[in-house]
Amino acid sequence: MKRIWIVAGEASGDTHGAELMRAVRERAPDVEFVGAGGPRMRRHAGEPFDEWIAEAGVLGLWDVLKKYGYFRAKFDAMEAAIRKDPPDAVVFVDYPGFNLRMAAALRAALPSMKLIFYISPQVWAWKRNRIPRMAKILDRMLCIFPFERDLYEASGLRTDFVGHPMIERLAEEKRGDIREANLVGLFPGSREREVRKIFPVLLDAARHVLRERPDVRIAAAAASESLASSMRSMAAAAGIPCEIESGNAHLLMQRATAGLVCSGTATLEAAFFGLPYALVYRVAWLTYAVGRVVITIPYLGIVNILAGREVVHEFLQADAQPAAMGAELLRLLNDPEARAALQRQLAAVIEGLHGENASAQAAVAVLEVLE
């Protein structure tokens, strides 16, 4: 029986990790999974398994620094557990700040250990010179964006483009309903800290829209009921009528005619569902200052990165001003041709991400490494 340690540290990684585990088990039912992740991965795992996503899923440099002691203790405990009872392979799911350090430590301590990285870290955005070092640490890279394969293989790292696992998952939710002509969707993110920072700005942008178009309805998607409650309080304090529900993001992306979306996975989801939107990003000043120094690409949004041009307008940090964002919403609401052009460009980007069942392809690669 083969035994795999698998490590994910965020909600998206929990989803991708669980899908990978399921796909591996379909092909090799006797494979045992242990490690760390979230509730979805937990359902496919044995012991030891650390359900740590709620604590591990922090945002930004400042949050990481505040919890350094927590992460140091988790790192030491995981490394010790793997060294004490070495598995046949370790699979790292995204979460590069933690996982790349763990891979380096395990390569030094257990030179023959098979190390696989799934959802390749976006070092091409901030430090490409790390790729050769990663090639010495890892046995296999599984990437979800087509251009990544050449970058990694140029350094000698065996790399597979497996397609984006999100595409196959979201396809099941596509409804094809007609959009509501006067509905604007607000998507402030899934973490409490980013919601507190971004949602008030989105509400102010909605205020500018309502001044020009009082017929417009405002709706927002919350990642949880607790966040929905906080967002309702914010909307009431701002005096903005806003329909707020939890768990409705994908439906709202298909109903709304225009939207504002917090930077992250949701921007790709919005593109998949064809929502004409603008990207919004605000974080702590220290996180942004560090990011500006290390990021070497001209765009933040993955849609723009993949397209190589600004398909979606980006409102970043100090430029995330309510009046400007409101003006962009009004442009999209009032100009059907602009919306249609943006939707065509979004569809072209998404088309390039289609793999033939990404989770299955990733599972085949993992089992190949084990053999």
pLDDT of residue 33: 97
How many helices and strands, by DSSP H and E, does the chain display? 19, 13
For the ranges 110-114, 291-295, 316-320, the maximum mean pLDDT occurs at 110-114
DSSP secondary structure string for all residues of 214-238 = TT-EEEEEESSHHHHHHHHHHHHHH
Is the pLDDT assigned to residue 157 strictly greater than 80? yes
List the structure tokens of 213.
């178009």
pLDDT of residue 221: 97
- Cα angle at 57 between 284 and 267, to 5 degrees? 70
pLDDT of residue 62: 59
What is the rounded distance in angstroms from the CA atom of residue 328 to the CA atom of residue 185? 13
Interval 255-266 mean pLDDT: 94
Is the pLDDT assigned to residue 123 strictly greater than 70? no
Q: Please say whether the beta carbons of 149 and 352 come within 8 A.
A: no
Is the pLDDT assigned to residue 339 strictly greater than 60? yes
- Determine whether 188 is exposed, middle or buried from the number of CB atoms within 10 Å of its CB (0-12, 13-18, 19+): buried
pLDDT of residue 40: 94
What is the rounded distance in angstroms from the CA atom of residue 186 to the CA atom of residue 277? 9
4: pLDDT confidence band, cut at 50, 70 and 90?
very high
Is the pLDDT assigned to residue 192 strictly greater than 90? no
- Determine whether 137 is exposed, middle or buried from the number of CB atoms within 10 Å of its CB (0-12, 13-18, 19+): middle
pLDDT of residue 330: 98
Is the pLDDT assigned to residue 289 strictly greater than 50? no
Is the pLDDT assigned to residue 292 strictly greater than 60? no
pLDDT of residue 60: 60
Is the pLDDT assigned to residue 290 strictly greater than 60? no
pLDDT of residue 294: 46
Please tell me the least confidently modeled range out of 6-15, 73-82, 291-300, 336-345: 291-300
Asked whether the bond before 48 is cis by omega within 30 degrees of 0, the reply is yes
pLDDT of residue 298: 67
Is the pLDDT assigned to residue 286 strictly greater than 50? no
pLDDT of residue 336: 97
297: pLDDT confidence band, cut at 50, 70 and 90?
low
**Residue among 168, 219, 175, 222 nearest 194 (CA):** 222
pLDDT of residue 357: 85
Q: Please say whether the beta carbons of 30 and 3 come within 8 A.
A: no
Backbone angles phi, psi at 46, to 5 degrees: -100, -150
Q: Please say whether the beta carbons of 75 and 110 come within 8 A.
A: no
pLDDT of residue 285: 47
**Pairing of β 183-187 and β 159-161:** unpaired
pLDDT of residue 278: 98
Question: Is the full-model pTM beyond 0.75?
Answer: yes
Kindly list the structural domains of the chain, giving each domain's residue range(s) and its CATH number in brackets, ordered by start.
3-163+355-370 (3.40.50.2000), 183-351 (3.40.50.2000)
The secondary structure of residue 115, as a DSSP letter, is E
Q: What is the arrangement of strands in the sheet containing 217-222, beginning at the earlier edge strand?
A: 243-246, 217-222, 183-187, 258-262, 277-281, 314-316
What is the rounded distance in angstroms from the CA atom of residue 175 to the CA atom of residue 121? 32
* Residues of the chain above pLDDT 70, percent: 91
Reported residue count of the chain is: 371
pLDDT of residue 293: 43
70: pLDDT confidence band, cut at 50, 70 and 90?
confident
pLDDT of residue 296: 53
User: pLDDT tens for residues 34-66?
Assistant: 999 999 999 999 888 999 987 776 656 556 677
> What's the whole-number average pLDDT of the chain?
90
191: pLDDT confidence band, cut at 50, 70 and 90?
confident
List the structure tokens of 271.
């593109």
User: pLDDT tens for residues 208-240?
Assistant: 999 999 999 999 999 999 999 999 999 999 999
Interval 154-168 mean pLDDT: 90
Interval 316-344 mean pLDDT: 95
Residue tagged 């996982």 (tokens) = 99
